[in-house]
Structure 1
Amino acid sequence: MTGRFAYGPFHEGPDPLAPPVDLRAALEQLGRDIMDGSSPRSALEELLRRGTTGTTGLDELTRRLWERRARIQRRHNLEGTLNEVRALLDEALEAERSALFPDPSDDARFREAQLDALPPSTAAAVRDLAEYDWRSEQARQAYQRIRDKLGQELMESRFQGMKQALSEVSPEDAERIRAMMADLNALLLAHLRGDDTAEQFQRFMAQHGDFFPENPRTVEELIDALAARAAAAQRMMNSMSEQQREELSNLMAAAFGDPRLAEQISTLDANLRALRPGEDWTSATRFRGQDPLGMGEGAQAMADLAELDALAEQLAQSYPGARLEDIDLEALSRQLGDDAGVDARRLSELERELREQGLLERSSDGTLHLSPKALRRLGETALADVATTMRHGERDTARAGAAGEPTGASRPWRFGDSEPWEVSRTVRNAVLRTASTNEGEVRIDVADVEVIETEQRARAAIALCVDTSWSMVQDGRWVPMKRTALALHHLVSTRYRSDELQLITFGRHASTVDIGQLTALEGVWEQGTNLHHALLLAGRHLRRNPDAHPVVLVVTDGEPTAHLEPDGNAEFNYPTTPRTISKTLAEVDALAKLGASVSVFMLGEDERLAAFVDTIAKRSGGRVVNPDLDGLGAAVVSDYLRTRRT
């Protein structure tokens, strides 16, 4: 071992040092949207669209894609190759005329006449000069650059990266290209016939693989890459004016000075169309900019536009079975940079983790809902928020004795304690003490003994009645009400597990719900605040638990406007009627006979509601609390704990 280490980028899968996905923050956002009335599926989609802290959402990534697409169209046009060929042709003609001018011979005048008679079309002029015997070496080289330029552009339009590879073209290079094109068309034609081309493909790649830096592993991968590029080149031609398209098509016959190359390209396009008819061969795009693109650059621009369109569809997630794993992260990084690829990968991991960790479940009818695990986490968050606003403790008076419940903690034994020993901690204490004193043999001393801490708890039956009338939604009280229920439910289910909590919703009618149903409950336009029915259900819950201390908590923002008739129908009247008030107060009196005081958490400043809840408090021995929305959860939990202690 030399003790020296080398550090470098990590390339073997996911980054092991990357921060974990923040599921708690994501679940908090999901919970808020679901409690606000969104379905779990739409809440998840909205979360992914918005993104999370430090991670760009799908909407922003999509906006950047469309911005890049528009920038390509606004900045460029497709006249690059035509302009460059025209400039080279003018250079060649000017150099040739300069060489002919001093010569008084008839041959010089004849050549000048040939040059003057050239057609105005660039393609036709290049074609007519194919057999011209140049006097000027500079003109000859300029004309040769036209042929090389056309060959490079033609090959670049069909084979990505070819233009750079053919920066200097020798006759041998041109011959290699013609041989490659002939072999390629033979391979594609054999594959089109249905022949087994595996061996032929291997021979082709062994001989011509340097023309394909993407290194396709099968003939299908080769066809996919070539068809996408050829379709982009065709869309570029479709996007030109008819005159530009005709001019460029005619120029291609001069590529590398050999019209056979253009014929091979035409055959290649035909084979690829037959093999991949699903590619977009017909659409066109309007370019409005001043920056001219050559054929190769134009084909790449069209390929980029197609890639941007595909990425936008992937980010939209609007097709059946869409998942974020469908997003091509490499393409997204190419178009928007590495940060965009990282953000998309994080969103994909977030979606996968939410499903794999059991925070989202699919019911038998296929709908998505929050799992019990997710509800527990939401309850933890809601209770933590409540705890920050509470100034007093939550613990009951601890009392030693066999009747107590274990708290999960232990304490040193004291004379008179009868709780069971905490054996593992007792032995651990003995081992540590023996090791520190070098006594050798381990012996348990009375100072080592720890006992299991217990506490005596009174059992309570709690009915939390929450108003679900439309005014709760309209006035922004819907989510605070649900978070309050979540906090109380989590406290009871984790800290006071012997207590019995019943959640009761009341609008026109009242009903008992579990915490999952309440969390996903959507606001519905319905008139009526049937507190009478809710208190009836609360009384039924208290009677089912006669040995428990009764606790009734009511969260409402309006006086009762409905009551339940003996036939089970709800009678609604606004303004409220004496009969509704009388039946509701009669149920308050019935609860008082069971020993339950009714605590009312009044939301808003309605004077009629204030007078009514004061009456409830007086008749039941309860109290009225008028919290703001931020303090609602703390007020309800505090009252529950206060009632348990008393």
Structure 2
Amino acid sequence: MARRSTARHRYSPYDGGPDPLAPPVDLAEALDAIGQDVMAGYSPERAMREFLRRGGQERTGLDEMARRVAEKRRELTARHHLDGTLQEIRELLDRAVLSERGQLARDVDMDDSERSFRQMRLDNLPSSTAAAVSELSSYDWQSSDARADYERIKDLLGREVLDQRFAGMKQALESATDEDREAVNQMLMDLNALLAKHARGEDTPEDFDSFMSKHGDYFTEADGGRPRNVEELIDALARRAAAAQRMLNSMSREQREELMALSQQAFGSPALMDQLSQLDANLQALRPGEDWSGSERFDGEEGLGLGDGTGVLQDLADLDDLAEQLGQTYDGARMDDLDLDKLARQLGNPAAVDARTLQRLEQALRDSGYLKRTSDGQLQLSPKAMRQLGRALLRDVATRLSGRQGQRDVRTSGAAGERSGATRAWEFGDTEPWDVTRTVTNAVLREASDRSPTTGSPGESSPWGAERRGVRLHIDDVEVTETEARTQAAVALLVDTSFSMAMDGRWVPMKRTALALHTLIRSRFRGDALQLITFGRHAQTMDIEQLTALDARWDKGTNLHHGLLLANRHFRKHPNAQPVLLVVTDGEPTSHLEPGGEVYFEYPPHPLTVAYAVRELDNAGRLGAQTTFFRLGEDPGLARFIDSMARRVGGRVVAPELDDLGAAVVGSYLGSRGPAGSTYGHYGDWFGGRGFWVGS
């Protein structure tokens, strides 16, 4: 019979880098939010920061964590006050005096003169608690209960002053013996010797190990765990000592004087206080950067002892650090700056988990290729991010278009043309449907040729054996069906970037529209030539990255004349393509180019400005451009002007709501891509009997 193994295994948290079992971070929501902010004028860096601050639908953001940090800080200062130790000592002293008076009254054998002397001494105790305790240090207590209470005062003071420097000492030294107190005194002496040696640069790792082997039990989880080297030891002690000093600074002058006087009687050992004073001096010299001079205001009713008060001051310091880290307002701020251990201590483990998720999200955004750094060190959206954002916008456009006409998402093959019956090898960027039969056959034949006929079991070298085991597809196996090419188009999208577009909230919808159309042409109609043209006081061509990052412009002027000049230049560069002119505007033309190239502006529009715009529109009509105007706003004068312009060239006018602008422009473009002679009415008439699908 086999003997059961008795080997035992111990497991510890994984510490080899990022958790390999952690779920992948979903960047879609973050990228969409960042893209919207970038189009609204934020830099990508600021947009990413804003998303991390807000959080997602199922993710707590930095602002919510900062709010909880501030709330806990207010709660701590509003709940407590700092004279808890003084109150406790006063109560013990009053109880000891009361017990002693009772004993004097009951002791019938005591000489009356002695009784009177003792009572007079008790009656004349100083009002100061510290002075009263000092006055009674030489008193011969007649009551055993009174003597016990008085000894508790010295014991309490000793434990409190130690608890200020070493968390948990108050409880650990309760009912301590003289040997325990001597052991503490010896630990302090050894600690001061180690710190002095470290300050001189003469200590070794063996010195630290020797100290911890003798006194390591004094450093508990309450101190942040057992330190691993002398630097961690100094850090932990200095943080708590600085908090103790801030607690004293937060007290009134009378409270400080009382406590300092009382502390001299801790454990009845002045040597203990000498060692603690030396410890504080060593720590201040080694860690001058800690806050040794700060103070807090406490207005609550719950008294704090010296040790507990020091712990609260440490908590407040942690909360202040977390507030700064969560604010991310300092130069070079990163999510990795968050102290997850502090966050878990102050707000609980769920908050630390949320923060860790945000850290992973920030790192994933930087590592995924969605954000890239320019030569001057600034972040910007990468082409990969632009494609992802454009696909999301295009899906929204497709949903709006299909919803308007009661249509559904028609995933019909041949969206870019009719099938010709031929196939070819897949190339990057192809969206034609796979020829499944040819693809699988290629994979089977490749695997059969890759295997040696002399190896493996019978049938493995045949295609049928491979089919039984399953076929592994390789990218080189894929073949797609050929489609007939459609007419190439030269598309000019003119978008108004005048003052009114930004003022009336049309800036971001304009950018979303341009990005959606750009994504559609680059993914589904790669043979078409798209030119993005902005026209404000003057016009210019832009690539999609420039337009997406374009800040709102506050210069007055709508130079449609210049925009049409650039559009016609684009059409002439593609003489064999069908010109498609799409104009998005919310105002009549108010500026034009003079023959010398200067910009002329006048409002209301000068007749010459209108004439120049009409002339260039006529030129576009003579080039055969299919023209659509997208009128934004309800201005009657603009409506009359746009209608007359469209009639001159047989164009159309669409007056969409802002949310439907993208669908309107994309729908019009798709209509212009239809068969020659087709009549397209409302922009939703975009299916053309074939349909259009945006892949994820």
Same fold (TM over 0.5): yes
Deviation, structure 1 residue 563 = 1.4
Counterpart pick for 1:488 among 517, 521, 531 = 517
Distance 2:478 2:339 in 1: 59
Distance 1:439 1:271 in 2: 78
**Structure 1 partner of 2:64:** 60
Deviation, structure 1 residue 399 = 3.6
Partners of 1:407 and 1:454 within 8 A in 2:
no
Q: Residues 62 and 7 of structure 1: is their aligned pair in 2 closer, same or farther, counting only changes over 3 Å?
A: farther
Q: Residues 326 and 537 of structure 1: is their aligned pair in 2 closer, same or farther, counting only changes over 3 Å?
A: same
Distance 1:98 1:451 in 2: 105
**Structure 1 partner of 2:484:** 456
Describe how 1:107-506 pairs up with structure 2 within 5 A: 107-213=114-220, 214-391=225-402, 395-400=415-420, 407-411=431-435, 423-424=441-442, 442=463, 452-457=480-485, 458-506=487-535
**Structure 1 partner of 2:473:** none
Counterpart pick for 2:661 among 620, 632, 635 = 632
Q: Residues 177 and 57 of structure 1: is their aligned pair in 2 closer, same or farther, counting only changes over 3 Å?
A: same
Describe how 1:602-641 pairs up with structure 2 within 5 A: 602-641=631-670
Partners of 1:403 and 1:456 within 8 A in 2:
no
Q: Which deviates more, 209-218 or 133-142?
A: 133-142
Note the aligned Cα RMSD (angstroms).
Answer: 2.8
TM-score w.r.t. the length of structure 1 is 0.91
Distance 1:19 1:602 in 2: 47
| SS at structure 2 position matched to 1:409 | coil
**Structure 2 partner of 1:100:** 104
Is 1:82 equivalent to 2:86 in the alignment? yes
Deviation, structure 1 residue 612 = 2.1
Deviation, structure 1 residue 198 = 2.7
Deviation, structure 1 residue 396 = 4.1
| SS at structure 2 position matched to 1:376 | helix
* 1:133-152 Cα distance to aligned partner (Å, 9 max, x none): 32222112111211111111
Q: Residues 440 and 338 of structure 1: is their aligned pair in 2 closer, same or farther, counting only changes over 3 Å?
A: closer
AA matched with 2:154 = R
* Aligned pairs, number: 627
Q: Residues 7 and 583 of structure 1: is their aligned pair in 2 closer, same or farther, counting only changes over 3 Å?
A: farther
Distance 1:442 1:23 in 2: 42
Deviation, structure 1 residue 339 = 2.2
Deviation, structure 1 residue 102 = 2.3
Distance 1:8 1:178 in 2: 37
**Structure 2 partner of 1:48:** 52
Q: Residues 257 and 301 of structure 1: is their aligned pair in 2 closer, same or farther, counting only changes over 3 Å?
A: same
Identity %: 54
**Structure 2 partner of 1:417:** none
Distance 2:590 2:12 in 1: 67
Deviation, structure 1 residue 474 = 1.3
Distance 1:607 1:205 in 2: 85
| SS at structure 1 position matched to 2:673 | helix
Distance 2:617 2:607 in 1: 15
TM-score w.r.t. the length of structure 2 is 0.85
Is 1:11 equivalent to 2:21 in the alignment? no
Partners of 2:423 and 2:479 within 8 A in 1:
no
Distance 1:402 1:582 in 2: 52
Deviation, structure 1 residue 605 = 1.8
Deviation, structure 1 residue 230 = 0.8
AA matched with 1:98 = G
Deviation, structure 1 residue 578 = 2.1
Deviation, structure 1 residue 428 = 10
Distance 2:423 2:651 in 1: 30
| SS at structure 2 position matched to 1:512 | strand
Q: Which deviates more, 422-431 or 463-472?
A: 422-431
Q: Residues 451 and 315 of structure 1: is their aligned pair in 2 closer, same or farther, counting only changes over 3 Å?
A: closer
Distance 1:84 1:493 in 2: 78
Is 1:508 equivalent to 2:515 in the alignment? no
Partners of 2:32 and 2:389 within 8 A in 1:
yes
Q: Residues 278 and 475 of structure 1: is their aligned pair in 2 closer, same or farther, counting only changes over 3 Å?
A: same
Distance 1:237 1:65 in 2: 24
Distance 2:103 2:431 in 1: 105
Q: Residues 521 and 439 of structure 1: is their aligned pair in 2 closer, same or farther, counting only changes over 3 Å?
A: closer
Deviation, structure 1 residue 427 = 5.5
| SS at structure 2 position matched to 1:400 | strand
Deviation, structure 1 residue 556 = 0.8
